[in-house]
Structure 1
Amino acid sequence: MFVRPPLLKEGDTVAALSLSSGFVTEVLHRYEAGRRQARAELGWNIIPAPNALRGPEYLYRNPQARADDLHWALENPDIHGLLSMIGGDDSVRLLPLLNLETIRRHPKVFLGFSDSTVTLMQFLRAGVMAYHGPALLTDLAEFGGMHPFAVQGIRQATMSAAAFHFQQAPEWTQAHQEWQQPDLQEVKRPFERSDGWTWLQGDVPAQGHLMGGCLEVLDMLNGTPGWPEPVLWQGALLCLETSEDVPPPAQVGYWLRNFAAQGLLQSAAGLVLARPRGYTPDMVAELYGWVKKVLWEAGREAMPVLANVDFGHISPQLTLPLGAVGRLDRGAGVFEVVGG
């Protein structure tokens, strides 16, 4: 159903794109750390797209320059992959400027999360797999070096075979550390032991292509011409996460009710929820209650639901190949990709 882009390999040149915020120019030491660490751990040669380092004010006022960078990276034969610099909040402004035919004719790995959800969905609309995972300024520029779990996740999704098991992170963090202090770049953040995945419901294994992203961004995209057509949602494993804005559990429930009103929950094969950033234990319990409530309302009380998975706005995070066929099996404790 979706074209799998050519796998990346060590020595490849990957373009870093500022498709949303141009914040990178305020933390150039972190940008260089990300490039250096990516070369050491992944073997990638990361270069900036022509407009990627022109600053937040210029990029805010010139969405065409951002779209031009995407098209340049796709059409340039010397560029093998595309990497989001960082998220933001206005990639939706690029929708009238993006050429799906260019994406379709030049399938390449595009890796990003958060506001990059807009662009990830456009790759899927063009029939090309896209990769929900670390950005250059986040996990690739992790304080004190890339986390081995993030490295493994990127490698297995973008550089290895089409089938693999997702692993549970042994540790995780949401600890804040100031990006704009260069002297902290080599100081590792504190991590805590992971409590693992949580299976909320559903005992029958389910299989479908991976779809989804950041719920707040999907909400901005909903109702625009960039919203994926209904057929793209049918039979999907929905992979959904929330941002550092920490939306209340009830708000997540309302978004899921919107999905139900569109028939997306009724046609989905299963649901995968990320570890929610900034949630207290009580908020997590309330969130899970809302999820089960809305699925009951939609007649999907038997849908398999896996929660507390390591992707999205926490570290380290997995890389999800959106468009690839995934499988959930509660009995075997498995979340896996079975093919492209």
Structure 2
Amino acid sequence: MSVMSFVRPAALREGDVVAALSLSSGFVARVPHRYEAGRRQVRAELGWRVVPAPNALRGEAYLYRNPQARADDLHWALENREVAGLLSTLGGDDSVRLLPLLDPAVIRAHPKVFLGFSDSTVTHLQFLRAGVTSFHGPALLTDLAEHGGMHGYVSRGVRQAVMDARGFRLRPAPEWTEQHREWLDPDLQEVRRTFAPSGGWVWLQGERPVQGHLMGGCLEVLDMLNGTPGWPEPALWRGAVLCLETSEDVPAPAQVGYWLRNFAAQGLLAGAAGLVLARPRGYTPERVEALYGWVRRVLWEAGREDLPVLANVDFGHTSPQLTLPFGAQARLDPALDVFEVLEGGVTA
């Protein structure tokens, strides 16, 4: 099987300017204290100077009515020589509306680190379709603006993915949380959340080691993207280690199974090298077991009982979360309990 090759952007360095982009929701304008906390913590932990794209702070109503302004911000950040990287402020639910407005030639001509998750799945896949590595990780308003300071697991994960040109081994977070702190209340910004010990990751099936390029994203967003001109070509899926997560919508386990059946019908599971599932947000232990049952069922239906599946992984809608370099080669080894990125997603 041939190995997919992607253009790798330059590694971010301390002192770099990174543009904050609101490519979906403009909620950031309602929580200026959270935005400023994120900027401070990014500067303190990563050394970057965050600046807003021209339209990023113009508010929910304006950005909803003006998808062109959001696409313009992406192109502006890519073409601006003073901007070294791109950072999503938050997710949302309508990045798919940007598809007719995005220019893949600009993405290809100006490869830069793009970091985000959730609805940023749309943008990540357009980077991959343009042949450029992209980075599924925390947004400015989420883990980067964590209450009371950025979690060390998050800052280390970002650094190893976008500031180091070497490969790295991924490891479970020692703790995690879903505790809610009201973002609209500035007085709660410095009140740390309570974290519980992590149960670690779990292998659902598989025995032999596999290798492939990372790709995927939020399943609800992939469902919106499916069938549009922004859906990746079959060759891009072939040989991939699929990294899939669910959002705060908490889809039923059966719904996840239906989405995977769609992937099977398209031949995406037949051609996959491996599957990595994020810790599902808002699930009870019973719901988690039902989810895993559906995953095994669909893979049996697809004749992929051989496919290595690693679950409960710390990415997506969980805290703290990893940063995954989509497009980089990765290796799964169930026997040795290994999930590692074999090459840097950036260049030195």
Does TM, normalized by the shorter one, top 0.5?
Answer: yes
Q: Does 1:313 align with 2:317?
A: yes
TM-score by length of 1: 1.00
Q: Does 1:331 align with 2:299?
A: no
Aligned partner of residue 65 in structure 1, secondary structure = helix
Q: Does 1:273 align with 2:277?
A: yes
TM superposition shift of 1:4: 0.8
Q: 1:207, 1:175 → 2: CA distance?
A: 35
1:125 aligns with 129
In the alignment, structure 2 segments of 5+ residues that lack a partner are none
Q: Aligned partner of 1:146: which letter? A: M
Q: Which deviations, in whole Å up to 9, do the C-alpha atoms of 1:104-142 show, x marking residues without a partner?
A: 000000000000000000000000000000000001100
- Which residue of the other structure, out of 95, 105, 114, is the alignment partner of 1:91? 95
Q: Which deviations, in whole Å up to 9, do the C-alpha atoms of 1:86-114 show, x marking residues without a partner?
A: 00000000000000000000000000000
1:216 aligns with 220
- Which residue of the other structure, out of 120, 127, 134, is the alignment partner of 1:116? 120
TM superposition shift of 1:271: 0.2
- Which residue of the other structure, out of 145, 168, 172, is the alignment partner of 1:168? 172
TM superposition shift of 1:331: 1.4
- Which residue of the other structure, out of 163, 186, 190, is the alignment partner of 1:159? 163
Q: Does 1:8 align with 2:12?
A: yes
TM superposition shift of 1:167: 1.3
Q: Aligned partner of 1:9: which letter? A: R
1:47 aligns with 51
Aligned partner of residue 9 in structure 1, secondary structure = coil
Q: Which deviations, in whole Å up to 9, do the C-alpha atoms of 1:277-304 show, x marking residues without a partner?
A: 0000000000000000000111100110
5 Å matches for 1:241-280? 241-280=245-284
2:109 aligns with 105
Q: Does 1:300 align with 2:304?
A: yes
1:75 aligns with 79
- Which residue of the other structure, out of 138, 143, 146, is the alignment partner of 2:147? 143
TM superposition shift of 1:161: 2.7
In the alignment, structure 1 segments of 5+ residues that lack a partner are none
CA RMSD of aligned residues (A): 0.5
Q: 1:186, 1:53 → 2: CA distance?
A: 23
Q: Which deviations, in whole Å up to 9, do the C-alpha atoms of 1:183-223 show, x marking residues without a partner?
A: 00000001000000000000100100001000000000000
TM superposition shift of 1:77: 0.4
Q: Does 1:62 align with 2:66?
A: yes
Q: 1:289, 1:53 → 2: CA distance?
A: 43
Q: Which deviations, in whole Å up to 9, do the C-alpha atoms of 1:4-55 show, x marking residues without a partner?
A: 1100010000000000000001000000000000000000000000000111
Q: Which deviations, in whole Å up to 9, do the C-alpha atoms of 1:222-275 show, x marking residues without a partner?
A: 000000000000000000000000000000000000000000000000000000
1:20 aligns with 24
Q: 2:128, 2:122 → 1: CA distance?
A: 10
Q: Aligned partner of 1:246: which letter? A: V
TM superposition shift of 1:322: 0.2
Instruction: Tell me which stretches of 4 or more aligned residues in structure 1 moved more than 6 Å.
Output: none
Q: Aligned partner of 1:54: which letter? A: R
Over the matched positions of the two proteins, sequence identity in percent amounts to 76
Q: Does 1:230 align with 2:244?
A: no
Q: Which deviations, in whole Å up to 9, do the C-alpha atoms of 1:295-319 show, x marking residues without a partner?
A: 0111100110000000000100000
Count of paired positions: 340
321-330 vs 159-168, which moves further: 159-168
- Which residue of the other structure, out of 33, 36, 44, is the alignment partner of 2:37? 33
Q: 1:334, 1:186 → 2: CA distance?
A: 36
Q: 1:94, 1:57 → 2: CA distance?
A: 16
TM superposition shift of 1:162: 2.8
TM superposition shift of 1:332: 1.3
TM-score by length of 2: 0.97
Q: Which deviations, in whole Å up to 9, do the C-alpha atoms of 1:150-198 show, x marking residues without a partner?
A: 0000000000133000111000001111000000000000100000000
Aligned partner of residue 211 in structure 2, secondary structure = strand
